A and B are shown apart, each in its own frame.
Chain A
Amino acid sequence: MWNNLKTDIIRAIWIFAIVAVASILFNWIRTPVLSALADNNTISRASLKDHRGVFLNDNWSHKGRPEQVELEDENTGDGQTGEAGKVENDELEQREMKEYLIIDLEQTKLLWDDGECIFVDARSPEEYESGHIPGAINWPHDAFDEYHEKYRDIISPDDCIVVYCEDESCDFSADLADSLVWEYFQEVYRFKNGINEWMSAIYPLAEGPDPGEKPEQVE
């Protein structure tokens, strides 16, 4: 019995070692191919992001949890809302990738009142229709390319974008925010606690497939 167990453990270690080496080798070959495809615009940069786990020399420790920031006046005030429209690829390549910033309810409300940022709901169309922040458009995180094309003429990488989903445990908004960052969007905020905290603060909601109108003044 114990001899068998010893043999099985050695076999298990072998399986582990072979799988580890094979998967790392596979990714090592795949990474430059994917990067080349993204450079040729064969695949979008955002879809390249979906394979970013393959970059072995990446330190992930800072990813997904940028420090919560104090919004400065320039972000809430005149903003940097650029003209919507297509930005050419060579223009994009001169840009830097900027990590998105996490904001809380109060900061989200400030940006919403200010009206300079485009609010984006990263959930599914069904969830969006059941209730969303008034004025927010729907951009399901798992259909990034499709909606990127759809919104190409109304959203520019220079626009200020606020993404949200359900609550803090929901990572749809993190995924979408990352995709936007990888498409060189310059000012992306993630409302971490999402629609649930918005609703518990009894702020207005819009229902249905349309973004809905923002009320004049909400305290």
Chain B
Amino acid sequence: MKTDGTPIPSPVYHISRILLGLIFVMASLDKLAKPWMFGRAVVAYDLLTGPLGYLVSPVVIILPALELVCGILLIINKLVRPAALLTLALNIFFIVIIFSAIARGMHVECGCGLDKGPIAMLAGTQADWGAIARDLVFVVLNVIVLLRHR
């Protein structure tokens, strides 16, 4: 099996890359279709309060578009490493945000955009440990893509 000197076999890399791309595209579509609901979910985390409330709209506008573009780049195998760096940063950011909600004892919707389908059935739709576990799996996929694709 060809590994190009990296510890990740080629099929594992390609499956991880396409899976990660599909997850990000799926997550973005729901947010793009219902920006208001996504904005509500962002507000519910209670982090963008007071004057920071002005940042909610840019988040609602930019974040789903970024997820969509990164997802597409991963799927079509173009600019894979920059896209994977961005998705890794996003995943770590989501984990920190969800953890902050858990630490503050909040019960909020995840707002992850994966509220329907098999992923939601596995990890639920709440910002809880299930959501963190799911994001950690995405981080593993991300690391596989980054390690293999030098």
Q: For the complex, is A36 an interface residue (Cβ under 8 Å from B)?
A: no
Q: Is A175 in contact with B37, judged by CB distance below 8 angstroms?
A: yes
Q: For the complex, is A1 an interface residue (Cβ under 8 Å from B)?
A: yes
A65–B48 CA distance with the chains assembled, in angstroms = 12
A60–B36 CA distance with the chains assembled, in angstroms = 11
Residues of A91-149 at the interface with B, using a CB-CB cut-off of 8 Å, are none
Q: For the complex, is B8 an interface residue (Cβ under 8 Å from A)?
A: no
A12–B86 CA distance with the chains assembled, in angstroms = 6
Q: Is A16 in contact with B35, judged by CB distance below 8 angstroms?
A: no
Q: How many A-B residue pairs have CB under 8 A?
A: 123
Residues of B42-101 at the interface with A, using a CB-CB cut-off of 8 Å, are 42-44, 46, 48-54, 56-58, 60-62, 65-66, 69-70, 73, 79, 81-83, 85-86, 89
Q: Is B39 in contact with A60, judged by CB distance below 8 angstroms?
A: yes
**A23 surroundings in chain B (CB, below 8 A):** 61-62, 65-66
The contact string, 1 if C-beta is below 8 Å from chain A, for chain B 14-32, is 0000000000000000000
Can you name the residue of chain B whose Cβ is closest to the Cβ of A167?
B107
Q: Is B35 in contact with A61, judged by CB distance below 8 angstroms?
A: no
A54–B59 CA distance with the chains assembled, in angstroms = 10
Q: Is B43 in contact with A63, judged by CB distance below 8 angstroms?
A: yes
**A54 surroundings in chain B (CB, below 8 A):** 35, 57, 60-61
**A64 surroundings in chain B (CB, below 8 A):** 40, 43-44
**A22 surroundings in chain B (CB, below 8 A):** 65
Q: For the complex, is B38 an interface residue (Cβ under 8 Å from A)?
A: yes
Q: Is B61 in contact with A27, judged by CB distance below 8 angstroms?
A: yes
Q: For the complex, is A50 an interface residue (Cβ under 8 Å from B)?
A: yes
- Given A51-B36, A56-B57, A58-B54, also A11-B82 (CB < 8 A): yes
**A41 surroundings in chain B (CB, below 8 A):** none
Distance in Å from the Cβ of B92 to the closest Cβ of chain A?
Answer: 14
Q: For the complex, is A197 an interface residue (Cβ under 8 Å from B)?
A: no
Q: Is A12 in contact with B35, judged by CB distance below 8 angstroms?
A: no
Residues of A147-199 at the interface with B, using a CB-CB cut-off of 8 Å, are 168-171, 174-175, 178
**A20 surroundings in chain B (CB, below 8 A):** 58, 62, 65-66
**B79 surroundings in chain A (CB, below 8 A):** 11, 15
Residues of B within 8 A of A (CB): 34-44, 46, 48-54, 56-58, 60-62, 65-66, 69-70, 73, 79, 81-83, 85-86, 89, 107-109, 126, 150
Q: When A and B form their complex, which 4 residue pairs have the shortest distance between CB atoms, in order from nearest?
A: A61-B53, A53-B35, A53-B60, A60-B56
Q: Can you list 21 residue pairs at the A/B interface with Cβ under 8 Å? A: A8-B81, A8-B85, A15-B73, A19-B66, A20-B58, A23-B62, A24-B58, A24-B61, A50-B36, A51-B35, A52-B35, A53-B39, A54-B57, A56-B61, A58-B53, A60-B54, A61-B48, A61-B49, A168-B107, A169-B109, A171-B37
